[in-house]
């Protein structure tokens, strides 16, 4: 029998990254790109909704709605916008028109504010402000208001 001499030295094991870099690098890059896209889209949506809902016709009409006792009874207090409006607003300098529906919420419920008005000499004159209450399907007409 012939004796074989083996070298019993242990071969050092490569670290995790050296063993897995072929799939770790692409997945890491794709994760970074995906996160960037999500943040970009989320930021754009937040910015657009902030600009769209922060307009003087909506802000002033919500203030009027908050002072209506019938609306307060149905939707509660602290009524505020709850999403992006639908409809049209066209403003140029000190004149404009608005015909919009704005989702709203209060301490007791949700609904939609229906706002129609004209802006003349930098003041909004409302042809109609109504509130549709989601829970009761009731339409609350608020008196024609001129500022």
Same domain, 74 and 111: yes
Q: What backbone torsions phi and psi does residue 100 show, to the nearest 5 degrees?
A: -135, 160
Say how far apart CA 139 and CA 114 lie, in whole Å: 10
Same domain, 116 and 44: no
In this predicted structure, what is the pLDDT of residue 123?
86
Same domain, 105 and 68: yes
pLDDT band with cut points at 50, 70 and 90 for residue 4: low
- Helices (H) then strands (E): counts for the chain: 3, 6
pLDDT digits (tens, 9 = 90+) for 54-92: 577 888 889 999 999 999 999 998 899 888 888 888 888
pLDDT digits (tens, 9 = 90+) for 18-39: 888 899 899 989 999 999 999 9
65 falls within a domain = yes
29 falls within a domain = yes
The model carries a pTM of: 0.63
């Amino acid at each position: 029998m012939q004796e074989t001499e083996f070298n019993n030295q242990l071969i050092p094991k490569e670290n995790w990254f050296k063993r897995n870099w072929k799939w770790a690098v692409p997945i890491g890059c794709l994760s970074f790109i995906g996160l960037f896209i999500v943040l970009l889209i989320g930021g754009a949506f937040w910015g657009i909704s902030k600009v769209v809902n922060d307009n003087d016709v909506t802000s002033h009409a919500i203030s009027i709605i908050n002072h209506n006792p019938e609306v307060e009874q149905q939707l509660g207090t602290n009524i505020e916008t709850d999403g992006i409006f639908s409809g049209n607003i066209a403003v140029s300098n000190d004149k404009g028109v608005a015909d919009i529906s704005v989702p709203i919420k209060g301490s007791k419920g949700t609904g939609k504010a229906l706002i129609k008005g004209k802006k003349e000499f930098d003041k909004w004159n409302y042809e109609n402000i109504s509130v549709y209450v989601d829970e009761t399907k009731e339409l609350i007409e608020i008196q024609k208001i001129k500022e």
